[in-house]
Amino acid sequence: MPTTIFVARKVVTMHRSNPTATAVAVRDGRVLAVGTVEECQAWGEATIDTTFADKVLIPGFVEAHGHTMDALVASFPYVGFFDYPLPDGTVAKGVKSYRDMLDALRAADAELPPGQTLLANSFDPIYFPDEPRLTREHLDLVSTERPIYVRHASGHLATVNSGLLAKEGIDRDCPTPGVARGPDGEPNGELQEAPAMSLAVDAFKVTSRAMFDPRVVGIHAELCRNAGVTTSTELVGGMLIAPQIEDAWRAAAEAPETPVRMVLYNMPSMPGSSADHGAAADAAVALAQRDTPKFRNKGAKLVLDGSIQGWTAVLLWPGYITGTDHGQLLMSPEETVEAVRAFHRRRLNVHAHCNGNATAEMFIDAVEQVLAEDAWLDHRHVVQHSQTTLPHQYRRMARLGLAANIFSNHIWYWGDQHASLTLGPDRARGMWACRTALDMGVPLSLHTDSGVTPIGALSPMWCAVNRVSYRGDVLGEHERITPYEALHAVTVGAAHQLHMDDEIGSIEPGKRADFAVLDESPLDVDPMAIRDIGVWGTVVGGVVYEAPRPGSTTS
């Protein structure tokens, strides 16, 4: 039975009895021993691997709320505001002005064959408050001939040029709601919501969710490897809605070249429709019995509301500071209880998307009711995103055994907008209340919602520790947590919420040999430098995966 001893400058274990070490022995893909090389050699003959001699090994990051759809962000010309990492290790540069965006579109235009529609992705108007609304007139500066389709980051809008309007016959007589018009009554190029977006038939077919396509798994796994993530959770799993895709997904995840463990929380039904939750939970139990080491099906994902920056999250009084409240409740309180009950009874935990504190309250109420009927005390149901959860709610969550997975990346990506446009500065300081959660005793994780922000744990850690916005403001210094607490959240904390902390989350004898290989320890650097730490790659089940390092950028 071959044993490998990985030697490192430092091993940070997140295991209290052996917090640091200089060597890890691995056998059968699992951690055999942690300590000095000599201590590890107590297990007999071993190969000593010095690849990481000047690196820091930490437990592989566990993403407990991501989406493999991030593979598609990189598949089209990118016009998002922030830089976006690509699987080959390069970075798609963010556009900081309309001029930048038009330059990016012109570059893409020059590379496309004539006549082919130019698709661009991830434009976010919330970052351009001083610019006029993006219309066909802007895009016509790139081309009036070639159809151009710019999909917004929210997924709810697209802006198209005159060439596309003409090609698809979208004119002033178009009866479809959502075709925005200028003062002259002609379409101005903005297509709002799915029905209007679908009028751009070619572009719509390409960009509409290639839902549950297994090909995204491999690309997502490369993005994980480049960011030190060794377990990634697809939180809108489709195995219950589209069971026919299970084999292809398992094959993609189990392929030896796929450098990540995939965990799925599956939706009982398409968002916006109901399900027989008992039958769905039975199917989930059967699915979990077919788990393999790198492909794991867990409990249920419920989506209870929309987003805060889209004004579709459901908030308790006093609600949004500006902007119309479009709060969308996506499940009724009664159905939420039913769904929680069905999975809880089968000892599968439920992760509920609750951006608004009104939906957090609804979910906490549901868990309380079900728990009173059926005392599974270690359920670990999770309030996901938990962006506006209030102190009294965290207090209840602690009593009821709920965990929080907080979307801390918002502090940097949208913190300024939350302070000025959604909740106002006072309540924005209380969003992503990591300190409150920990002090109340709520188990904590931090996530990226990959596809919305780039996969990787260093940025969510940096945000939770520093609470600095893009504009440079400190947003809620009293909700800061320590680097150790943040690292715990993205390793042990995340594993706990997945009911996998017996297996992953720390470098500890008996657990899987899943490591992130870093240039520095996040516990040793200046907290403001945490997100700049270089990631060499990962080790997953003892197999080494090195990230590419081209050191260049593309746009």
Partner 1 sequence: MIDVVVIGGYLGSGKTSLVNHLLRTGTGRSTLVLVNDFGAVAVEPELVTASDGELLTLANGCVCCSLSSPLIETLVALRERADRPELLVIETSGVADPEPIAHHAMIPGFRLAGIVVVADAETVRARSEHALVGRTVQRQLTAAGLVVLNKVDLVASAERDRLHAWLAIAAPSAVVVDAQHGEVPVALVVGPDLATATPGIGEPDDHDHPTDHDHDHPADHDHDDHDHAATDPHRTITWRAGGPVDREALLAILGDVDAGIVRAKGVLTFADRPDRQEMVQVVGRRVHLTALPDRARDTAADGRLVLIGLPPHFDPAALEAHLHTTRAE
Residues that bind partner 1 in the complex, under the rule CB under 8 A: 173, 175-178, 193-199, 201, 204-205, 208-209, 211, 241-242, 269-270, 272-276, 279, 314, 327-335, 358, 362
Which lies closer to partner 1 via its Cβ, residue 142 or residue 358?
358
Least distance between partner 1 and beta carbon 74 (Å): 22
d(CA 310, CA 344): 31
Least distance between partner 1 and beta carbon 359 (Å): 9
Which lies closer to partner 1 via its Cβ, residue 209 or residue 392?
209
Least distance between partner 1 and beta carbon 333 (Å): 6
Phi, psi of 42 (to 5 degrees): -60, -20
Least distance between partner 1 and beta carbon 305 (Å): 10
Which lies closer to partner 1 via its Cβ, residue 341 or residue 379?
341
Least distance between partner 1 and beta carbon 504 (Å): 32
Is 197 within 8 Å of 157 (Cβ atoms)? Answer: yes
Least distance between partner 1 and beta carbon 202 (Å): 12
Which lies closer to partner 1 via its Cβ, residue 36 or residue 208?
208
d(CA 4, CA 48): 6
**How is residue 498 written in tokens?**
């997945």
Pairing of strands 30-35, 157-160: unpaired
Phi, psi of 344 (to 5 degrees): -60, -45
Which lies closer to partner 1 via its Cβ, residue 317 or residue 510?
317
Which lies closer to partner 1 via its Cβ, residue 107 or residue 279?
279
Which lies closer to partner 1 via its Cβ, residue 63 or residue 361?
361
Angle at 117 between CA 114 and CA 121, to 5 degrees: 135
CB atoms within 10 A of CB 541: 17
Q: Please identify which residue in the block is written with the tokens 């599974």.
A: 376
d(CA 386, CA 24): 36
Is 483 within 8 Å of 461 (Cβ atoms)? Answer: yes
Least distance between partner 1 and beta carbon 379 (Å): 23
d(CA 272, CA 67): 19
Which lies closer to partner 1 via its Cβ, residue 214 or residue 401?
214
Is 21 within 8 Å of 65 (Cβ atoms)? Answer: no
Q: Please identify which residue in the block is written with the tokens 């572009």.
A: 203
Least distance between partner 1 and beta carbon 180 (Å): 14
Q: What is the 3-state secondary structure (H, E, C) of 115-137?
A: CCCEEEEEECHHHCCCCCCCCHH
AA identity, residue 325: D
CB atoms within 10 A of CB 220: 30
**How is residue 328 written in tokens?**
């969308």
Which lies closer to partner 1 via its Cβ, residue 36 or residue 274?
274
Which lies closer to partner 1 via its Cβ, residue 310 or residue 401?
310
Which lies closer to partner 1 via its Cβ, residue 93 or residue 156?
156
Least distance between partner 1 and beta carbon 510 (Å): 41
CA 411 to chain centre: 15
Least distance between partner 1 and beta carbon 328 (Å): 8
Residue 550, burial from CB neighbour count under 10 angstroms (0-12, 13-18, 19+): exposed
d(CA 275, CA 338): 10
Least distance between partner 1 and beta carbon 343 (Å): 16
Least distance between partner 1 and beta carbon 270 (Å): 5
Which lies closer to partner 1 via its Cβ, residue 91 or residue 329?
329
Residue 130, burial from CB neighbour count under 10 angstroms (0-12, 13-18, 19+): exposed
Which lies closer to partner 1 via its Cβ, residue 253 or residue 283?
283
Which lies closer to partner 1 via its Cβ, residue 333 or residue 509?
333
DSSP, residue by residue, 296-351:
EEEEEEEE----TTTT-S---TT--SSS-------S-HHHHHHHHHHHHHTT--EE
**How is residue 179 written in tokens?**
């075709």
Cis omega (within 30 of 0) for bond into 318 = yes
Least distance between partner 1 and beta carbon 368 (Å): 15
Q: What is the 3-state secondary structure (H, E, C) of 187-216?
A: EEEEEEHHHHHCCCHHHHHHHCCCCCCCHH
Is 84 within 8 Å of 51 (Cβ atoms)? Answer: no
Least distance between partner 1 and beta carbon 448 (Å): 23
